[in-house]
Every structure is written in C-alpha cells, then in structure tokens.
Amino acid sequence: MCYRKTKMSQKRRSQSWIELKQAGNEFFKTGQYGEAASIYSQGIKEVEKSGKKNPEDLSILYSNRAASYLKDGNCWECVKDCTVSLDLVPFGIKPLLRRAAAYEALERYRLAYVDYKTALQIDCNIPAAHDGTSRMTKCLTEVDGLSWREKLPLIPTVPMAVKEKLSLATSQQTTQHNGTRENEKSVPGEDSIKKALTLKEEGNAQVKKGEYKKAIEKYTQSLKHNSSEITTYTNRALCYLSVKMYKEAVQDCGEALRLDSANIKALYRRAQAHKELKDYTACIEDLNSLLKVEPKNTAGQNLLLEVQNKK
C-alpha cells in the first residue's frame, strides 16, 4: 500500500500543473474534495517551481482549491485561498462568490454582503449573488438593526474596464457559487455596451427636458443593445409613470427587480404604478420590501401611509 502511494505521488509530481488541475477537477466532480484539494496544492507548487508565475494560472488553482475547502466545510482555508486568488487577479467572479459563501457560513455577514455586491457590479445576472445579497440584508437587519448599512466595510468600486473584460471573458453563462453553470445568457459585446450607454445618456438628456416619450424611445433602443442594464429599466419606468403608462412601468420595474431584487428605485416606482392602477395590495408589498432594505426611506414611508389610508 505504501509503495502504491509513493508511485502515485511520483506520478503526480511528474505531471504539469494543467494535468494536475484537470485531475483535481475530476476528483471534485466525484465529491472527493480532500483529494482534489491535495492535487490542486501540487499544481500550485508546480507553477511556483517552474519560475513562470503566471498570475492567472495560480489564481485558478487557488480558487479551485478554495472550492474544495468550501465543500469540505473548511471555510477559513477557503477564505484564505480566495483572497490569494483575488490578489493575483482582482475581481474574479468565482473566488468572490466562494469567499462570500464561506463568510456567510462563518456568520461574517457584512463581509459576505460586500463580496456578493461586488460580484453583482461585474455581472448583474448572477442568481447566487442576488440570493446571497437578499439573505445578508435580512441577517444584517436582524443583527445590526436599521443602521446596518452604516456598519458595512467599504464596497470596492469595480472599474468599467474590468467589468467589460471580466463580463466578456467569464460571463457567457450565469455562474453559481459552486462554479456550476445555470442559465446560459448572451453577453453584449464591448461595442454594444458602449452604444447602449450612449443611448441611455441621450434618454437622460430628454428626461431633463421633460420629453418623456422621446426618452422612452432612446431607452428602448438602448435596451436592444444591452438588456441587462438595470438603470435603463428604472429610468424608462419613470418616463412611463410620467406619461401614465402604468402597466408598462410595472413591467420595467419587474425586469429591473429580476436583475436586482433589492433595487430601491424599481421597488418604489413599481409601488407608484400599482397605486395608480389601484392595486393597493401589490403597492404595499413593494413598499414593505423597500423598507426592509432601506428602513429610513422617507418617500417609501410616506407613500405607505398614504396607501394604507386608502385601503
């Protein structure tokens, strides 16, 4: 038995880091997380020993080993490896989500919230990040009360160049925190993103002039180029409210909330539309959701009182 283990160890040492990574992936898929972590460790040593310390290669290996640690319940080691992975390649989706899940398991809810929100800056179509943000919001409200946002660490701002690069490189599919694929989505190219932004800004200019119908046209054109921009939906919803197209406003706010379930503007504007449609129950539900996220929102409090008096 000892001889056999020695032979296996010698074989692994002779493998390249790519082969070791692939072998680790196979063990991970079959639920052998301890063995996977051990092989990823060997891969890390191989990369470091080669003298060609490619940060992307090392970042992947540390992130993969972190996933193995997370599955085995070794959350602190997962946090350490994800941090190293992110130091090597900042704003990686997978290490951010894995570290967030580890922090959540360790009841470090503020740190988990920061990582989930950072991931959503890079790709707003990640269900695991939306769900995690909602869970952390609930936990932090229970733990820290109404002032929970004031106690959060600084949430880093992801540079636009990084967003575009990582979104195009890593978000051809929606990714869950365990690294598996969920719903494949087409990601707009760099030119489409820029065109969408230009059209959105043109729409914003029309809003400032009070030209809401023209603004709606611009926002509609913008969404054809990039259908995952939350603020374009909420801006068009504002215009729909202004021209009394309340059902359309409800629909746009629904799209925004599908992308970010805790979006304040979408919740408030949908509540306004529901009020105008005399759907007071739906209005109150949206306002209650809004006030869970932002308890001191004065506009939300006032509208809730108004609607409760009508009901």
Domain ranges of the chain: 12-152+165-170, 190-310
Q: Provide the mean pLDDT of the chain.
A: 84
Using DSSP, state whether 184 is helix, strand or coil: strand
**What are the pLDDT digits (tens) for 114-170?**
999 999 888 877 888 888 888 999 899 988 888 888 899 998 888 877 766 665 554
pLDDT at position 114, please?
95
Residue 125: per-residue pLDDT: 77
Judged by average pLDDT, the poorest of 77-81, 170-174, 249-253, 269-273 is: 170-174
Residue 126: what pLDDT? 83
Q: Does residue 162 contact residue 190 with C-beta atoms inside 8 Å?
A: no
Question: Is 201 in a helix, a strand, or coil?
Answer: helix
Q: What is the pLDDT of residues 199-232, one digit of tens each?
A: 999 999 999 999 999 999 999 999 888 888 889 9
Q: Which residue has the higher pLDDT, 55 or 99?
A: 99
Domains 12-152+165-170 and 190-310 share a fold: yes
Superfamily of the domain at 190-310: Tetratricopeptide repeat domain (1.25.40.10)
If DSSP codes are grouped into helix, strand and coil, which group holds residue 107? coil
- What tokens were used for 308? 């409760």
The closest of 39, 122, 108 to 79, measured between CA atoms, is 108
pTM above 0.85, yes or no: no
The CATH homologous superfamily of the domain defined by 12-152+165-170? Tetratricopeptide repeat domain (1.25.40.10)
pLDDT in the model for residue 1: 43
pLDDT, residue 249, reads 93
Q: How many Å apart are CA 155 and CA 173, to the nearest integer?
A: 25
